[in-house]
Every structure is written in C-alpha cells, then in structure tokens.
Chains A and B, each alone.
Chain A
Amino acid sequence: MIEESIKVALDKAIEAAARKDVVSFIQHIYDSRFLDGAERTLEDGWGLDKEATHEILSDSVDRLYEAAVKKGTILFPGAYFYKIIERKATDYYRSHKKFEEFDDTREYYSLTSEQAGEKRISYDSEEEHDARVKEGIKIARSLLPKIGEENVQKVMSYIINAVESGVIDISNSEIAEAIGLSEVSVRKWKQRGFERLKRVAIKEGYRKEFFRDITPMDNEEEKKGEE
C-alpha cells in the first residue's frame, strides 16, 4: 500500500496551484515522489534518456499546474498527471522517432497495413496529426449510430466529444454523472462501445491493423470482471 501522505501530496499540489502558490505546488509534487516513479518508468519502461525524460516531465508538471490554475480542482490528480505524462511521452516519440525511423511521413504511409499497425504512433507533424485526429473524429461519429444500444452510443459519444475538446482524463464517475448512469453501467457500456466501434469499422472496410489491439480495458479488476 502506498502511504496516504504521499498520495495526499498530489492533492495538496493541486490546491496550491489553484491558489497560484507555485513554490508550494512544486514542493508538494516533490514530496509526492510521483516524478521519481515517472522518471524511472520513462527511462526503464520507455527506454528514454534522461534529457528526454526531464523534458517530458517538466512539460507535464507545467501542464498540470496550468490545468489546476484554470480548473481550480482536479478530481483524480494521479490519473490526470499520469495521462499528461503518457501523452507527452507519446508526443515525444511521435516527433523524435519520426526522424530516426522514417525520412518522411510518406514513407510511413507507404508501409503495409500490417507494418503500420505495429507502428501505431504516427510520425508526422503536429498539424498533420491534428488534421488526422479531426478526420478520425468525423469517422467515429459517423459510425456511432451503427453501434447499437442508446446507452452505448451516449457513452461513446461523450468520450469522442472529450477527445475533440482535448480533455486529458475522463473518469467513469464523470461520464456517469453527465449522462445519468451508474459507474458500473458506464464501465460496461464503455467496454461494449469500444468493441462495437471496432467491429463496425472493420465491417465498413477500415483496416483493422490500425486499431484491433486498442482495448478499453481499464485495470486488472475490470479485466477479471470481463472474464
């Protein structure tokens, strides 16, 4: 079990940011040891060097600070912070690996579907990436009416809207509250929604290599529940 004092440090950091006490914010982040674990994870798990890790983490802390200043409160700061870091790390990969592995985006798109499916991270510029996400949202929305039950559509529609708004973290409780369902139901509909979206997309002729292994599975507990 993680000591509560450590977890609380993140809450304290958010509170400090909300009142724009940046020094306390950094102090609590330090006390939370979250960056210690994140740095080890990025270095050991992602294979990033110290320079890249520090760049990602300092950007992420700034993003957390800015979000906390704007929102005033963040319900699950650990998850929120984790997702910022994950996204920054993915972006870092996108912008750096591109130069290491491909001469240009065309080369990426000239890969076979199987190859591209393995290299899910796209290797293009931010503008190209944004344009593609926009296109992807359009496709996802066009498929939503075909995924069946109304509640599944509602949950998935909420999530797709969140993608469009650039939301970092969206919890089951937040979705549940917004569309008037229980958290357990949201979890179930979400699972079903992802599966059906993929199935419908394949039926519509989209290449499954690009998304077949994207699962909505949350954590171990949920995985067991599904089994």
Chain B
Amino acid sequence: MKSNDSNILKGATVMKNDYFSAAFGEVLQIARRISNDVVAEVEAIFKKGIESPLTEEESNDLFRQVALTIRKRAQERGDNETARAIGEDIDKLIAKIVTKREGPTNAGTGRMSRQHTTHLIENYNGITPTHVIPRPWFHGKEIPMISGYIKTADIQLWDNNVRLDIHLGQFREKYGRKPTPQELLDIMMSNLQLPGVTDDDQFKIVELARSIANNGVKTPPIIDIDGTLLDGNRRITACNYILNSDEFDARQKKRAEYIFAWQLTPDATDEDRRSVVVSLNFEPAHKQDWPTYVKAQKVYEDWQAMLALQLRKPGPPLQAQMKKELSLKYALGPDTAVVNRYIKMVEWASEFEDYQIEEKKKDKYTVHHKASEYFDYFEELSKGTKPGGVAFCLNQDESFKKIVFDLLFEDKFKNWNLIRDLKYIYNNNEYLDELRKARGEQDTDKAQDIVEGVCARARADRAERKIVGANTRIETFIKWLEELPVKAFRDEISEINLQKLLDALMLVNKYYEGILKEKGQTTDVKTTS
C-alpha cells in the first residue's frame, strides 16, 4: 500500500457504500418496527375509529373488499372452508355485518361528536337563515347547507387548517399546546413571531381586508355546526383585522362585523366535512387575475372622471387626496403608490397606442394586446422625468420615442431591463442608427440581438466615459470654484449645497488619505498653493 493511501485509512474509516449502508439501515428499521411497543399508536387508531367512524357507505365498500380478498386468498391457499363460508353473495354478507355493529350507538353514522352550538342570526336586516338552493356540490357530493348572517366574533378559526400545518407544529413545539383562538389569529396576521416566518403579512391579510372593507365578503365562508370554520380562515382573519384597525371607517367595520356565511346542517357527516375541505382547498378554482393593463385602465378612467369634476386643475394636496380615495376605492390601500404607477403607465401606453393606431395604421386590437403584453415596460419608460432619466430622454426626441415604440410593438426588446439603457443611447447618433437598423430588421431574433448589443455597449461606454472624463471635469469644476467670488458663497449658494460640497470634499480627503497610505507616504494633506 502506498504511504499516501495508508495515511488516509489511518485517519478515517473506509466509508461503506450506499447499498450496504441502506441494507443495514433497512434491517434496523424492520427490527425497530417489529419490536416497538405500539400501545399509544393502537390506542390512537381505536380513538380515531370511535371519533370518526366510517360512514355506512364507506364501511360497505371497505368490508366488501375485505371479504373478497379473504375469499380470493383462501381459494389460492386451498382453504375451501373459508372461501365457502364467505360464499358467493358478498353484498348480502356485508349488509348483515355492517348493520349489526355492537358497541357505542353513534358509530357508523359518520357523524362527529360535534354540538350544534353556533346558530346563524335569526333575522339580520330582514334576512333569515334559509337552505342554500340549489344544494351546493363539493368534491362530487351534494351537501345541504344553510345560509345566513353570523357575527364574525362567533366564528372560530379552523385549527386543523393544512395551510397552517407548519405554523401549528412550530407553535406546539414552542409552547407545548395548541394555540388559543386569539393566538391563531395572531399567526394568521403574522403577529406571532415564529422562526422562519419572515414575511410581514405572509397570508396577505391586509390586501384581502382592504378588498372586504370595500366590497364585503364576496364568497361566503363555510362553518360547521359548532362555529368552526371549514373554509375561509383568511377571510375571517381579514374581518378581524378590519374590526381592529384604524385604517377603516365605521361603515367598513360594519361590513366586517356581520358576514354572510354558509353552515353545515346538524345531519352533516364527517365525509361531508372532508368533501367541503377537499373541494375548496385542493380542487383548483381556475381563477385568473385581471391583467395589470386592464386594472390600470379602470383606475385611470376613474382618475380622469374625478379630474373632469374639478373646475380647475387640482393642486398637489388635492390631487393626493383624490388619489388616496381612488386607491381605497380599488382596495389598493391608503398608499397612493400603485395609483400613481398605474396613471403613469396608462399615459405611456396610450401614447404608444395612439402612435401605432393613428400614425402607423396598425389594427386597434392588435395594438391593445401589445400594450397589455408589454404593460410593465411602460413603467420603465415612465421613470426618470429629470435630465438623464429614460422618460426625459424619450420626451426630448420624438423620433427616438417612435423608434422605441416600434421596437416594442415588434417584440424587439428581449427584456424590460434594456429599457433602462435607453438613456445612454439618447443623443448618440451611432447608437440611434443601430436601433433604426434593428427596427428595419425582419428577423426578430437578429433584431433583438442588435438591440441588446447596442444597449450593452452604450451602458459600458457610459461607465467608461464617467472615468475617462473625470480629470477634465474636476479641473473645470475647480477652476470655476476658485474663480467664484466669496459673496456668491454667502448670497447665492444655498446652505444645503454648501453642506453637500463640504461632504464631498471630506470624502475626497478620505480617499486621498487611503491612496497615500497605500503608497506608503505621509497622510498629511498636501496643498498646491
């Protein structure tokens, strides 16, 4: 053996390969399984059997298969006595067995031991509890329900909600018990600190609350006869949020205080409950959000209508107030950022559409589809209205803007990031020519490559120019600064700008000291005069 190998073996054991390790592991597992005391597990099975017994239908199905299997295996083993005893008429045998159960009498009905403790309000604004007609279907099963109003406070969040599995597990591990209803609410509201939960509003309750505050609860939550929620944990949490938040007014709070709900009937079985949960949580709702383009257009139309009602153009404070109202109306929250964003995006999209339809004579609907498809790009186009920004550059040069609109219409931008580079292209004829070339290119892939290439070059060039021009810029600035009369510092230059200048010079000083240190020279600042 080479000394190198022996050294390796000396310091560490040779790892057995996965096959042998897995083989040993499997035997250990079987050994554990067969030798474990499973008293607790067996008790749990018995308990579950009593608490959630199979329905008669489920029992029939299962025991039919049991009888069939025993008969088949008995025949295979040559145990004719057993096979004969089961006989041919399995259904008759099962009917006899399943209806003749001994022991607790409630077993076999599939009912859980739930008490009918929560009732819908007898009369709420003239609405009395009534059967939901036609009977709703859940997971292929028709399940009777009663509809009516209920006080939100009377509903308990569902603490078996699979959505909360991890959170509940964490809570149990930390506190050694189930959370109280209030703690459950805190978990849903992300108010209760649990390791690994970093999101401030993990279940997006605030967003939902804003929608409910404006529109009420649109889909009725489903509650059990004891008030436990089977479906609607988020909605009920959102209602609780509305009731406890200053963000909402009395009218909105009222919408959340009493809600329209569906309730199971006292005859509901465990299977019914299961069907409701499966249907509403596992089967897809096939709901698709409206495109941002459509939502933004609606907001924009309302914004225009609000402006039209004003005698004169509203000043900034009034505009801010109007935008806040608009934001609340569309459940976008008290912050007007989204409304502002939508308005800018729609303005740019409209300009794009007008140009394509009016000047380029493109089909109206094709243009609308394109605007919708690239709607996010308009956000980038609208950014930077000050010198050096994308919007500013485009607004300075109509022909440049038209090139960009054409490239967008013809799918010639590979991604929205490239829009940000347009500000480096502006005013550079060489780059503009390349964009024109891309516009004329019939092959979209080739055109995309050209656009991407010119954007990359303009970006790199810009960075380079920043460095290359540094000395000239500094020299010019110093010359100008030194020639500036003292009174200008006193009378003309604002205090803020003076402070900024001082900060900048201190930064220069810091850099300079570092550079001198690197060169091994003294850190005393040298002066040239």
* CA A79 to CA B46, docked complex, whole Å: 11
Cβ < 8 Å to A, chain B residues 63-94: 63, 65-70, 73-74, 77, 79, 81-82, 85-86, 93
**Is there an interface contact between A78 and B16, defined as CB atoms closer than 8 Å?**
no
Chain A residues lying within 8 Å of B73, measured Cβ to Cβ, are: 62, 66
**Is there an interface contact between B66 and A61, defined as CB atoms closer than 8 Å?**
yes
**Is there an interface contact between B47 and A37, defined as CB atoms closer than 8 Å?**
yes
Among B27-35, B357-365, B384-392, the one that faces the other chain is B27-35
Chain A residues lying within 8 Å of B474, measured Cβ to Cβ, are: none
Given contacts A83-B33, A214-B32, A220-B40, contact A163 B25 (CB under 8 A): no
**Is there an interface contact between A162 and B62, defined as CB atoms closer than 8 Å?**
no
Q: Tell me, rounded to whole Å, the shortest Cβ–Cβ distance linking B47 to chain A.
A: 6
Confirm or deny: B522 has a beta carbon within 8 angstroms of a beta carbon on chain A.
Answer: no
**Is there an interface contact between B70 and A26, defined as CB atoms closer than 8 Å?**
yes
* CA A175 to CA B42, docked complex, whole Å: 20
**Is there an interface contact between B34 and A168, defined as CB atoms closer than 8 Å?**
yes
Given contacts A37-B46, A120-B25, contact A3 B104 (CB under 8 A): yes
**Is there an interface contact between B18 and A194, defined as CB atoms closer than 8 Å?**
no
Given contacts A31-B101, A57-B66, A207-B16, contact A201 B32 (CB under 8 A): no
Confirm or deny: B10 has a beta carbon within 8 angstroms of a beta carbon on chain A.
Answer: no
* CA A57 to CA B65, docked complex, whole Å: 9
Contact of B35 among A3, A5, A78, A216 (CB under 8 A): A216
Confirm or deny: A33 has a beta carbon within 8 angstroms of a beta carbon on chain B.
Answer: yes
Given contacts A35-B54, A219-B40, contact A78 B46 (CB under 8 A): yes
Total count of chain B residues near the partner, CB < 8 A: 68
Chain A residues lying within 8 Å of B33, measured Cβ to Cβ, are: 83, 86-87
Confirm or deny: A100 has a beta carbon within 8 angstroms of a beta carbon on chain B.
Answer: no
Given contacts A23-B86, A30-B59, A163-B30, contact A41 B35 (CB under 8 A): no
* CA A159 to CA B34, docked complex, whole Å: 8
**Is there an interface contact between A198 and B103, defined as CB atoms closer than 8 Å?**
no
* CA A82 to CA B74, docked complex, whole Å: 22
* CA A32 to CA B22, docked complex, whole Å: 38
Given contacts A37-B45, A204-B13, contact A139 B85 (CB under 8 A): no
Chain A residues lying within 8 Å of B70, measured Cβ to Cβ, are: 22, 26, 58, 61-62, 65
**Is there an interface contact between B66 and A113, defined as CB atoms closer than 8 Å?**
no
Contact of A31 among B26, B32, B58, B102 (CB under 8 A): B102
Chain B residues lying within 8 Å of A31, measured Cβ to Cβ, are: 101-103
Q: Tell me, rounded to whole Å, the shortest Cβ–Cβ distance linking B87 to chain A.
A: 9
Q: Tell me, rounded to whole Å, the shortest Cβ–Cβ distance linking A32 to chain B.
A: 8
Chain A residues lying within 8 Å of B102, measured Cβ to Cβ, are: 5, 9, 31
Chain A residues lying within 8 Å of B35, measured Cβ to Cβ, are: 159, 162, 170, 172, 175, 190, 216
Confirm or deny: A71 has a beta carbon within 8 angstroms of a beta carbon on chain B.
Answer: no
Q: Tell me, rounded to whole Å, the shortest Cβ–Cβ distance linking B177 to chain A.
A: 16
Confirm or deny: A6 has a beta carbon within 8 angstroms of a beta carbon on chain B.
Answer: yes
Q: Tell me, rounded to whole Å, the shortest Cβ–Cβ distance linking B78 to chain A.
A: 12
Contact of B37 among A26, A55, A79, A162 (CB under 8 A): A79
Given contacts A87-B33, A167-B34, A203-B13, contact A36 B52 (CB under 8 A): yes
**Is there an interface contact between B26 and A6, defined as CB atoms closer than 8 Å?**
no
Chain B residues lying within 8 Å of A79, measured Cβ to Cβ, are: 37-39, 42
* CA A11 to CA B112, docked complex, whole Å: 27
Contact of B25 among A40, A62, A65, A136 (CB under 8 A): A136
Confirm or deny: B328 has a beta carbon within 8 angstroms of a beta carbon on chain A.
Answer: no
**Is there an interface contact between A33 and B107, defined as CB atoms closer than 8 Å?**
yes
* CA A133 to CA B18, docked complex, whole Å: 14
Cβ < 8 Å to B, chain A residues 135-156: 135-137, 139-140, 156
Cβ < 8 Å to B, chain A residues 105-163: 109, 111, 113, 116, 120, 122, 129, 132-133, 135-137, 139-140, 156, 159-160, 162-163
Contact of B65 among A58, A171, A222 (CB under 8 A): A58
Cβ < 8 Å to B, chain A residues 160-185: 160, 162-163, 167-172, 175
Confirm or deny: B15 has a beta carbon within 8 angstroms of a beta carbon on chain A.
Answer: yes
Residue of B nearest to A132 (CB): B23
**Is there an interface contact between B16 and A57, defined as CB atoms closer than 8 Å?**
no
Contact of B27 among A111, A160, A205 (CB under 8 A): A160
Confirm or deny: B173 has a beta carbon within 8 angstroms of a beta carbon on chain A.
Answer: no
Chain B residues lying within 8 Å of A50, measured Cβ to Cβ, are: 61
Confirm or deny: A188 has a beta carbon within 8 angstroms of a beta carbon on chain B.
Answer: no
Residues of A whose CB lies within 8 Å of any CB of B are 2-3, 5-7, 9, 20-23, 26-27, 29-41, 50, 54-55, 57-59, 61-62, 65-66, 69, 78-79, 81-83, 86-87, 109, 111, 113, 116, 120, 122, 129, 132-133, 135-137, 139-140, 156, 159-160, 162-163, 167-172, 175, 190, 194, 197-198, 201, 203-207, 209-211, 214-220, 222
Pick 19 A–B contacts, CB within 8 A, sort by A: A20-B85, A22-B74, A26-B93, A27-B100, A30-B98, A31-B101, A37-B50, A50-B61, A61-B70, A66-B73, A69-B79, A79-B38, A81-B42, A87-B33, A133-B27, A140-B28, A170-B34, A210-B18, A214-B28
